[in-house]
Amino acid sequence: MTPPHNPAVDGDRRVVINEVGLRDGLQNFPVILSIDAKLDLYTALRRAGLRRFELTSFVSPKAVPALADAADFVARVPRDETLLTALVPNRRGYERARAAGLRSVAVVLAATETLNQKNIRMSLPAAAAECAAVCRAAKEDGVHVRAYVAAACACPYEGITEGTRVMELAAAMLEAGAHEIALADTIGAGHPAQVEALFGAAVAQFGAARLAAHFHDTRAMALTLSWIALKAGVRRFDASIGGLGGCPFAPGASGNLATEDLAFMLEQSGFETGLSVDGLMAAAAVAGRLLGAPVGGKIGPWYAAQQRHEGARSVH
Ligand code: COA
Ligand code: ZN
């Protein structure tokens, strides 16, 4: 059998970053943004070159009050070539996302029994069946569907996740019609050797074109893990502006990998993201202003110092 196309081997330098700050970032933040504020942030992110967004979740407004405005927000986001998607936990969420005019959704299946219970109040088999039903419906409707396999490295309740289980769930979602699998280190507990093995196996079995990586930076490992997934062949990454993020139902989950940190590392290493790091820094500043909190990735202080330095040079 011919092995699947592997961008790492074929030298493909283009990387797509999916901005998840408006969903993963805001779902857990103590401040609830208005739709106008979300649109301001979206506009700043678009200006920085982002063309793929997970905008919100069509979940229970009681479970995630910060995203209760999902339909109204989506209605106000301009329609252009940008890929707009939303997380849906069940068929009800899928129908709501469709009614809001979205052509792309993401289902979320945790790799462990307990996290499914805590997150969407379903057993693992029930969650797998529900996600598969959404994948099948989406495929039939011509809607792009991503399946997250959450807690792909570790679960806050059950500890380290077996890679074989992640692979089985990913295979089941692809079989049901998912176009893309996002392997998500939901609580940022993965380590390089684990991620190398997991992504190596996933690329070999499913092909890099069907995979995305979603890392949280809880233990300052997210950039390293991204590099490892990149070397395995993955060219699609999630990130959140300013490193916002965390799952309210997964204790210990902290911010996502910051978009500006990832974009900077990739650009420096000769990969093409289509993003402006200046624009991302500006968007992070917008997020901080709107949320009234200091946000920002690891390069923020250094970047600001560079700019002050350059500003001082141009004055003298
Ligand atoms: N969108 C909006 N409301 C929904 C919904 C959806 N997709 N699915 C169910 N609901 C509503 C029901 O109508 C019901 O409303 P009511 O209390 O006003 O009658 C309520 O939510 C509970 O419905 P039920 O079917 O009993 O669901 P549940 O209580 O078992 O909760 C979820 C299941 C999935 C709806 C809920 O756990 C949830 O939204 N979780 C959020 C998960 C999440 O966002 N995690 C972070 C990202 S991974
Ligand atoms: Zn996440």
Low-confidence ranges of the chain (pLDDT < 50): none
Which CATH superfamily, name and number, covers 7-315?
Aldolase class I (3.20.20.70)
Task: Please report which ligand is nearest the Cα atom of 108.
Answer: 1
Q: How far apart are the first and last CA of the chain?
A: 65
250 C-alpha to center of ligand 2: Å?
10
Nearest atom (ligand 1) to Cα of 57:
44
Closest ligand relative to 217 C-alpha: 2
How confident is the model at residue 281, as a pLDDT? 97
Backbone dihedral angles phi then psi of residue 252, each to the nearest 5 degrees: 95, -10
Residue nearest to atom 30 of ligand 1 (CA): 121
What's the confidence (pLDDT) of residue 35? 98
Of the candidates 135, 153, 155, 247, the residue annotated as catalytic is 247
CA-based nearest residue to 154, from 226, 239, 216: 216
- Cα of 108 vs centre of ligand 1, distance in Å, is 13
Phi, psi torsion values for 83, nearest 5 degrees: -85, 115
The pTM assigned to this predicted structure is 0.95
Q: How far is the CA of 88 from the centre of ligand 1 (A)?
A: 10
- Residue from 24, 55, 60, 87 to probe ligand 1 pocket by mutation (most atoms less than 8 Å from CB): 60
Of 59, 115, 240, best ligand 1 pocket probe by most atoms within 8 Å of the beta carbon? 59
Q: Could you confirm whether 155 is annotated as catalytic? A: no
Phi, psi of 219 (to 5 degrees): -115, 30
| Residue 226, number of CB atoms within 10 A of its CB | 25
Q: Which residue is it, tokens 């949280």?
A: 216
Q: What is the pLDDT of residue 1?
A: 63
Q: Kindly report the length of the chain.
A: 316
Query: In the Cβ-directed half-sphere of 172, how many Cα atoms lie within 13 Å?
Result: 23
Dist CA 125 CA 165 (whole Å): 12
Q: What is the pLDDT of residue 110?
A: 98
Ligand 1 is surrounded, with C-beta below 6 A, by 27, 57-60, 63-64, 87, 89-90, 92-93, 96, 108, 119-121, 247, 249
Whole-number pLDDT of residue 56: 98
Q: Under a CB-based contact definition with an 8 Å cutoff, are residues 45 and 21 in contact?
A: yes
What local confidence, expressed as pLDDT, does residue 314 receive? Answer: 67
Residue 10: per-residue pLDDT:
79
CA of 310 to the centre of ligand 2 (A): 36
- The DSSP bridge partners found for residue 57 are 87
Q: HEC states along 234-270?
A: CCEEEEEHHHCCCCCCCCCCCCECEHHHHHHHHHHCC
How remote is the CA of residue 152 from the centroid of ligand 2, in Å?
11
CA-closest residue to ligand 1 atom 12: 60
Query: Do 70 and 100 touch, CB atoms closer than 8 A?
Result: yes
pLDDT 10s digits, 164-174: 999 999 999 99
Side chain identity at residue 297, one-letter code? G
Token pair of 181 as six digits: 């699998």
Please report the pLDDT score of residue 137 as a whole number.
98
Rounded Cα–Cα distance for residues 280 and 259 (Å): 7
